[in-house]
Structure 1
């Protein structure tokens, strides 16, 4: 993108755990196994690396600056991993191999190392704007998501404070981002999934392929139950509703407003894996619109039924729409509330 990365503009937290080659290998072996549950990971080693972090045996950025003690930490790490590898029937890893891998990149990484928590706090006290961007959806949260089909960390908004070291009181506004329909990458429950022509239509028109892996996304109708629950678990102040233009031209549009579970109507997404698989969506059907929303930059440029759809979603999820996106272009956005406004 024409940006030159230097330590002046990029800092890596000294306490950040490192993803090693053995993490990636273990991730791929587990996901490719015919035994057990398939989670649908990206096979990038993130899960195994988090396991080591929680198990207090991770190799962290700061360890690269202390090669004399690094070998001892690697030996402790391999005491766990080589036992796993023996159980899986694969060869053990030599500590010297990991040490050489780390030393090969140490000089590239260490210039960027610093105390991120201190830098952020200094900027906050100076009145500077700070933006945290979540890497994954709230429903992939290890505690509040579709467990076990989740990532290995917390992804709700509160993690911005815990992960960065900036206190929770410093967060002024939480903007939730959701599409005008629902998508998911990988395995796991998806109550409103459309495994039919409608799902195909949404996927093709919305160009639904995963950013990281290029995997085809599963598509379905807007699930107000899931979004409403995410609004509550992340303390969301406003929603950025994207891809409204994908729904252009449909005769009717369905919105999931509640679930049926074992013959009972519920207004939440259950935590149990079995219950998540059994819920059935209950829909309200809205009239679609034939005029285009693409490129609209004000409410006045939207078809009346599109405005009605957005207002209905606001009512169902308990949060106002702060931004409305009507095309892939950044300029085609209706800004209702500026999250950075004092």
Structure 2
């Protein structure tokens, strides 16, 4: 049995905390896609920790953590994270496993990412410059090196061959930055990576499921950044939706039970790309401050706006969402009135569907106003503690997206989640 947790917006929905909250109920937490551009924020003993590669169940001793084949892995980032979580008592050599089929991000992938983005000028897609796109390109181009290749005595030779190919591309970009230090870090991290549990991921997880183990598949980024169904070309390089679980872990679709989607009580986006409900005024700036909306991975300020039910309904549809977690509801405590986007006016025509080319469409959001609650909800423990105006807001969203909001996160703490 597999349950899935994934983001329903443009990422940054608070998936790390939610996975950490649910982790005690599962035997295995498995990352199925994405790379170190994901930043899943947890608070352990009051201290903030951001995980980029390690699954968010790492602080639960009884829980195994699998990095699946759909992930692209930065060995340097992973080594740093392993050292960081070890300070909090997490034993990655005991409870973390890496699929042999997981592709590696090389130093030259990072260089290619940077060179490509620099050449785009005003057309930048907002890449985090972690080498993720080029690593996925090598994967689909059948050139990439995988974690299992580290166990081959010819790994260094194969690395050099691929590096030379990348160098020719970098020369075409007139990229002349010295990446020697990156390579030194990489090979040091590779040695560390070889000391970890490298497994046949697809056999590992299917055998565990046959044994009756419960798996929680952890998504990275958000549904609206999916390579096929997101706001193309302002998307990531992998399938961030439920379909990515099957290809990213090597499991059959009938094994998936619940799909738990996460949405903020409002919307944010980092980098370029369309954002129909974005606020360019003082309210948007106040949302950013109240929600501390700065990227966990990049530190970039996030663009902020009202919740978008057109996009949210679309994300629930393509993912088969069965339950929803609403995060950062407490951020709206002092805002009134609240606005909710219920439809788009696209070139003068109202629609409740995402346009094919949302980047070129002239979209005006149709907004419905709700009163705010002007109450400190961070202290709420039960549904009855929530103000009636908040419950009305949530109920309206339930009806529009066709999936029930079952939990409300009302603060950063592990215990600040209200079941509904």
TM-score (norm 1): 0.90
How has the CA–CA distance of structure 1 residues 320 and 82 changed in structure 2, closer, same or farther, with 3 Å as cutoff?
same
Candidates 317, 332, 337, aligned match of 1:252:
337
Candidates 343, 368, 378, aligned match of 1:284:
368
How far apart in 1 are the matches of 2:334 and 2:93? 49
Whether 2:133 is the aligned partner of 1:47: answer yes
Output the aligned Cα RMSD: 2.3
Whether 2:239 is the aligned partner of 1:144: answer no
Deviations 1:77-99 (A, max 9, x none): 346423312211235999x9999
Candidates 313, 323, 334, aligned match of 2:397:
313
How far apart in 2 are the matches of 1:204 and 1:92? 36
How has the CA–CA distance of structure 1 residues 307 and 15 changed in structure 2, closer, same or farther, with 3 Å as cutoff?
same
- Which residue number in structure 2 is paired with residue 14 of structure 1? 100
Deviation at 1:105, TM superposition (A): 3.7
How has the CA–CA distance of structure 1 residues 124 and 262 changed in structure 2, closer, same or farther, with 3 Å as cutoff?
same
Whether 2:124 is the aligned partner of 1:38: answer yes
How far apart in 2 are the matches of 1:58 and 1:34? 24
Larger Rg: 1
Deviation at 1:265, TM superposition (A): 0.7
How has the CA–CA distance of structure 1 residues 87 and 326 changed in structure 2, closer, same or farther, with 3 Å as cutoff?
same
Deviations 1:114-152 (A, max 9, x none): 112112112211212211111111111000101100111
Structure number with the higher strand fraction is 2
How has the CA–CA distance of structure 1 residues 252 and 264 changed in structure 2, closer, same or farther, with 3 Å as cutoff?
same
Deviation at 1:8, TM superposition (A): 2.5
Contact 2:225 2:231 in 1 (8 A): yes
Whether 2:383 is the aligned partner of 1:299: answer yes
Structure 2: state its 5+ residue gaps: 1-84
Structure 1 window deviating more from structure 2 (24-33 vs 49-58): it is 24-33
Deviations 1:132-183 (A, max 9, x none): 1111111110001011001111101221221011222111111000010001
How has the CA–CA distance of structure 1 residues 282 and 129 changed in structure 2, closer, same or farther, with 3 Å as cutoff?
same
Contact 1:85 1:92 in 2 (8 A): no
Structure 1 window deviating more from structure 2 (204-213 vs 5-14): it is 5-14
Deviation at 1:67, TM superposition (A): 2.7
Deviation at 1:191, TM superposition (A): 0.4
- Which residue number in structure 2 is paired with residue 221 of structure 1? 306
Q: Helix, strand or coil: the match of 2:344?
A: strand
Deviation at 1:54, TM superposition (A): 0.5
How far apart in 2 are the matches of 1:9 and 1:300? 39
- Which residue number in structure 2 is paired with residue 271 of structure 1? 356
Contact 2:383 2:419 in 1 (8 A): no
Count of equivalent residues: 333
Whether 2:275 is the aligned partner of 1:161: answer no
How has the CA–CA distance of structure 1 residues 90 and 292 changed in structure 2, closer, same or farther, with 3 Å as cutoff?
closer
Structure 1 window deviating more from structure 2 (122-131 vs 102-111): it is 102-111
Deviation at 1:334, TM superposition (A): 1.6
Contact 1:47 1:151 in 2 (8 A): yes
Higher relative contact order (CA 8 A, sep 6+): 2
- Which residue number in structure 1 is paired with residue 268 of structure 2? 183
Contact 1:238 1:322 in 2 (8 A): yes
